[in-house]
Structure 1
Amino acid sequence: WGVGGAESENPGMGETWQAVGLARERSVTTAEPRSWDPLVLHVSVYSSYLCSCGGIGDQDKDNPYPMSLATGFVMLFLLFYPPFPCQGFTFSGICRVTCLYGQVQVLGYTIGQGHPAQEVFSTYTHSRLTISAVHYSIPEKSKKEMKREAQALLRPHLNQDDRCSLMKNFSPLCSIVLLEQLKTSTVNFLVSHPGLSYIFVQETPTFQVNSERRALKSVGIKRERKKNGLCFTESTLSAIEELVTVSCEEVDGCPVILVCGGQDVGKSTFNRFLMNQLLNSISCVDYLECDLGQTEFTPPGCISLLNITEPVLGPPFTHQRTPQKMVYYGRPSCKNNYESYIEIIKYVFSSYKREAPLLVNTMGWVSDKGLLLLIDLIRLLSPSHVVQFSSGRSKYMPNLTPDYVDSMDGLYTKSKSRARNRGFQLAEFTESLEFADEEKESPVLFTGHKLICVHSDFAFRKTPRNRESHNKVFRDLAVLGYLSQLQPPVPKPLYPLHGLTPYQVPFNAVALRITHADVAPTHILYAVNASWVGLCKILDDVRGYAKGPVLLAQTPICDCLGFGICRGIDMEKRLYHVLTPVPPEELRDVNCLLVGAVSVPQCVFRSQCGLEGTMPYITTDYNFKLPGASERVGARESVEETRIEKVHPKPRHHRKIY
């Protein structure tokens, strides 16, 4: 990854972090108004028809998001009738959703008339999303007045003949939705890597292509069967309704909701739906991420606290966000280092201000030591509500009632017997919490939680044999989603990562630490080069060293401000070249680089376009006969973890005897 261009210093970044080469342009350009080719789709319980104001042009087979005609994008209108509970439009693909009239709901979030447009990502890696009708209060107007109001809303988009055709199906309880083609730098960056275009678009051979299919394809979506969409059980919907009510009516304080359960039972989907439901009524929700392997808003290997103010309408790799507090643990699992995991959660949780409901996401490891660790978390976080998921496919897990948690020893906490209806104090933990002045006068009393049991019929394709490979794909997508922040906004073209401008950092300006393995000091720079690094801030001053590199003896618990790729090391000038989307004003505080078991996705190295000859960091001259060499490249892990990994037995085949 050679660095091109002349060296230039950006005075706004100080002396430590300097830009190398030409500066990237990050200004957001305002797009010109587009002309639309309107299409009307009427979805009802009994019929489905398509009204077009113009034909669909030839589609580009190589473009996964084709456009119709030369005038721009295609516009769809959906009419829903709330009295019918089975109403809904289930789809795959991505689009921008605007509700022109009435109200609709996507993944629990309500989009009403006058609300800003929402970007919706219905990908093939997760269950398909559905645009559903919701009941809304009808204003005290006559049907004629409401119809006239709807016509006025449609006037900027449809001509008079099309408005008249559409208004024949008008009902006072209907909703009119506008779907527009969506182009984002995140999506463009993801699909630019080989093999990842299937995430958003999958073409299936069909013998009949009607006008509806062509119209939806021109927007970038495809209609799916209802069975492919999300389907919540009654216990799930009941739990969500109770938690929303408690969060909106809580008087004594903000509820702390901890969600737990086995792997692949729908915890993450439940969290997204609950967050969206809460955002319908309150302005923000706090979110504490304790699942290292499948993080929601950050790259993997992090414990973070976020304040969520915008709806979550897609999988994690489509909504990477900046946390209020984040620590880079450096591994997708806390096995063999539980104490550090608990200490990091304490450190991050201390930033919770108790000004909004807190939703806590936990790991899917709920057996053996994982269950004991979960008991520790319940004691330390003292949630008001514990939502426990169970499934017919998941392993047995005891009900985490207050009495059960109180009578069991965790890994680091002991059981406490207490009188009925009496709280218990955790003095050693509550000292680090931040409360208002009036709350400090009275002692903090943690009362027992309320257990909400949820049975899930969540359908998934993961098995014990392929679960790790699936999870590895999701982790790589999260890293790619984070790296997409390096790209300029659309409609500007994508830049290859090796063509972007990195920052140069002197050896003696930052400390180094490999978090997941013991590496000899002479090999540290080999481990850092071309690696995923956490950009952290430690309290120690590392500028006292003359040359560097500065090596840490222990992994610190410190704030992580973001991530980057160490794309090169200049041994002559003693500089690190780091590629990162972290703003320059925040890079001033970075004085530590942490390298963990989270790797840069292999597709990043393989898809370095525009290079001639041998690709950097890619080689075919490799001797597999060397000790320790393997033809299979997997995730980084310690030798001890590899040794204790369970090997699933091969299926036995029995011959029938007649």
Structure 2
Amino acid sequence: MPARRGPSARRPRRGPNRGGRAEAAWREFAASFARAGMVPPVEGGLAAVEAAEGAAVLLLAPQQTLTFTGKCRLRCLYGAVRLLGFAVSSHQPALPVFSPATHCALTLEALPDARPPGADLRQLRVAARAAMRAHSVRRQARVQVMARFSPDCALLLLEHLDTPVTRYLLSHPPMSRLFEPPKKEESSFTPEDAVLASVGIVKCSPDHGLLVSESMVLALEELIQACCAEDEGVPLILVCGPKNTGKSTFNRYLINLLLNHLPSVEYLECDIGQTEFTPPGCVSLNHVTEPLLGPPFTHQQVPRKMVYYGLTSCEQDTERYLDVVKSVFSSYKKEVPLVVNTMGWVKGEGLLLLIDIIRLLSPSHIVQMDVYDWKAMAPLSPDYVHFTSGLYTKGKQQAKCKQMRMDGAEPWSPSEGAGDASAPQYKLLYIHPEFPRAGAAGEVRVHSSILRDVAILGYLGQLQCPDVGAVLPLHSLLPYQVPFRAVALRVVHTDVAPTNILYALNASWVGLCRVPEEIQGRGEVPVLLTQTPVCDCLGFGIVRGVDMEKKLYFVLTPVPPEKLRLVNCLLLGTVAIPNCVLVGQQGAEGEIPYVTSDYNYSIMGSGKLRKKHFKRREFDCDYA
């Protein structure tokens, strides 16, 4: 996609002598600036100053950009910058920024005309100098920055960032290079790179950043205008399209743009395979008040309402999936704009299911992301949805003769007020993503199963101590003891014999849920549900042991005790604990607990686990 890019960093033009003397002089000149902690004043380049240990001041000219990988804490000292659509100015607190190599790199862009009106140059210089002094920037660094200062520039403080989540993620060898770009040749490493590397970020080519197509710009402008208008109701924006077309990135960009104008945005996650704010397998409604400056594992949060579906694909039980979406959507109060993310399954029954969801949610805008020459998905115009039958709803042509199922029950239909299937009213916005490999699901940057593992690890990282220190392995943490009689069990994806239910539960990832019915167990045997409930999920945990003598489950979870008191049901699905957690248990001698190659794969339900979860997949960072 064509991108709006600022001038790139380059060396100054040289005269006719391009040989050894000129090169040696340049290296010595650059080295002298590196010793002083500053990048040489290259025409069109960035100015980066070492402000303190693990901190740097970055000066960007108007509309100048920096595309990078890595992580840091960003604070705008003067002027303003844009980062993934969010405008960061000097009155805002420091923001954590995450740009791992698994996703497109983030780009900082200095915004023009950010200086206060009526202020003269002297006042602006005083304000910039005072801001640096207030954040303990070294005097020598302040002098060097002010030598390059201009009234229209942006001045940023970048600090090294270390969080419990990232510390835990990076402690696993397959994830240790999560924030590292492909190795650069030594000859291309500049003093500027050294200053930025001391903070934890690495400059990369703008081609690795978000490329915004013209159709995307036009759609965003119309959506922002609709959401900021006060006389047209609250918009409900549904984003759909095939896999690997940038739906999740578009949603983050849209939410960040909306947060420039609104205090909050609601987000309905209907993609159970690649969730934004929760571990995979969930449908959730989230209240978003902070910008999204990183991929999903960096902003896991407690949703306003969440239901655990238990699988990463809904093909096995589409009817229960629709019931789950309907249950979560019922909590939306229509007070702020809602952004709806949908699955990339848009072929065959997937497209029909999407039509059902459109009728259920009754959006005001549909953003259809599509690639050229894609034949499987027709334009979802109001007329198309009006005349096309879904999996469980009828189009206009069948509305007059309501058909009955073989068992006499009526076909599934939306609830009252959830949308009129006979008269959809919405604006269709068509987006053609033009980044490399758009729509090619087999050529994704990172396999979807790895992204799901990273999201689960991000959730488990909340178990770590908030203070900087050594990473604690999960088996060293104290679990909760849960009596058999206190919770009911249910395996959602397959039938398991009651005698094998505890074997399935042990060492498994479970949803911690609450069913309305009171659980009355006898204590000697597990309480089993005969049907999968559509109920609130309060969080997730790992069943790390079962005590048959004391009739106890041992559950490890970051959910606080006040919420755990409400949990009375454990749901087990196909979402599994990442392999690196099981095979990387520190201090284990001999056989590793819960890991074995001597396993009977003829047991019902084990084949899918063998195929999906216990086949070793290495994390590779050389994809950018």
Correspondence for 1:383 among 354, 363, 370? 363
* Structure 2 letter corresponding to 1:305: L
User: In the alignment, which residue of structure 2 is the partner of 1:67?
Assistant: none
1:237 alignment partner AA: V
2:75–2:158 contact (8 Å) kept in structure 1: yes
Q: 1:73 aligns with which of 54, 58, 67?
A: 54
Closer, same or farther: CA 418–232 of 1 in aligned 2, 3 Å: farther
Q: Give the counterpart of 2:488 among 502, 511, 523.
A: 511
Specify the code of the residue in structure 1 equivalent to 2:350: G
1:110-154 deviations in whole A, cap 9, x for unaligned?
Answer: 110121111111111010000111233532111122112212212
Give the distance between the partners of 2:321 and 2:603, measured in 1 at CA. Answer: 36
Alpha carbons 1:78, 1:177 under 8 Å: kept:
yes
- Residue 155 of structure 1 corresponds to which residue in structure 2? 133
| TM-superposed deviation, 1:198 | 1.7
CA shift in 2, pair 1:558/1:623, >3 Å: closer
Q: Is the 8 A contact 2:508 2:576 kept in 1?
A: yes
Q: Which residue of 2 aligns with 1:25?
A: none
Letter in 2 for 1:181: H
Question: Structure 1 residue 544: deviation in Å?
Answer: 4.6
CA distance in 2, matches of 1:627, 1:585: 37
2:48 maps to 1:47: no
Take 1:571 and 1:508, find their aligned partners in 2: how far apart are those partners?
13
Show structure 2 runs of 5+ residues with no match.
Answer: 1-34, 400-410, 615-624
Residue 170 (structure 2) pairs with residue 191 (structure 1):
yes
1:97/1:628 CA distance change after superposition, 3 Å: closer
Q: CA deviation at 1:529?
A: 0.4
Residue 265 of structure 1 and its aligned partner are, at CA, apart by 0.4
For residues 31-55 of structure 1, give each alpha carbon's deviation from its aligned partner in whole angstroms, at most 9, with x where no partner exists: xxxxxx99455898723455568xx
2:293 paired with 1:313: yes
Deviation at 1:196, TM superposition (A): 0.6
Q: 1:583 aligns with which of 556, 560, 576?
A: 560
CA separation of 1:383/1:355 partners in 2, compared to 1, >3 Å: closer, same or farther?
same
Give the AA of the match of 1:201.
E
- Residue 70 of structure 2 is aligned to residue 99 of structure 1: no
- How many aligned positions are there? 566
* 8 Å CA contact 1:624, 1:631 repeated in 2: no
Matched, 1:369 2:369: no
Paired AA for residue 301 in structure 1: G
Residue 535 (structure 1) aligns with: 512
Q: Would you say 1:569 and 2:567 are equivalent positions? A: no
Task: Determine the C-alpha separation between the residues in 2 that align with 1:564 and 1:472.
Answer: 19
Question: By how many angstroms is 1:462 displaced?
Answer: 8.5
Structure 1 residues 449-500: Cα deviation after superposition (integer angstroms, max 9, x where no partner) = 1100111113349955576980111111111111111111131322110000
How does 1:243-642 map onto structure 2 within 5 Å? 243-392=223-372, 394-416=374-396, 429-431=414-416, 448-460=425-437, 465=442, 470-621=447-598, 633-635=610-612
**2:513–2:567 CA contact under 8 A, matched in 1:** yes
Give the aligned CA root-mean-square deviation in angstroms: 3.0
Residue pair 1:351, 1:433 contacting (<8 A) in 2 also = no
AA in 2 matched with 1:457: E
TM (norm. structure 2) is 0.85
- Change in CA separation of 1:258 and 1:624 when aligned onto 2, cut-off 3 Å: closer
State the identity %. 48
Alpha carbons 1:42, 1:78 under 8 Å: kept: no
Q: How much does 1:336 deviate?
A: 2.6
- SS of 2:612's partner is coil
Give the superposition deviation at 1:166: 1.8
Whether 2:116 is the aligned partner of 1:138: answer yes
1:176 paired with 2:155, answer yes
Alignment-mate amino acid for residue 501 of structure 2? I
Query: Compared with structure 1, are the counterparts of its residues 376 and 38 closer, same or farther at alpha carbon in structure 2 (3 Å cutoff)?
Result: farther
Question: 3-state SS of the aligned residue for 2:97?
Answer: strand
Amino acid at match of 1:47: G
Distance 1:464 1:132 in 2: 30
SS of aligned partner of 2:257: helix
Equivalent residue of 1:198, what SS? Answer: coil
Q: CA contact under 8 A between 1:562 and 1:582: conserved in structure 2?
A: yes
Q: When the two structures are superposed, what TM-score results if normalisation uses the length of structure 1?
A: 0.81
1:613: Cα distance to partner? 2.7
Q: Secondary structure at the match of 1:89?
A: strand
Query: Which position in structure 2 is the counterpart of 1:6?
Result: none
Which amino acid is 1:531 matched to? S
Is the alpha carbon distance of 1:286 and 1:595 closer, same or farther for their aligned partners in structure 2, counting shifts above 3 Å? same
CA pair 514-52 structure 1, distance change in 2 beyond 3 A: closer
Shift of 1:292: 0.8
* 2:386–2:422 CA contact under 8 A, matched in 1: no
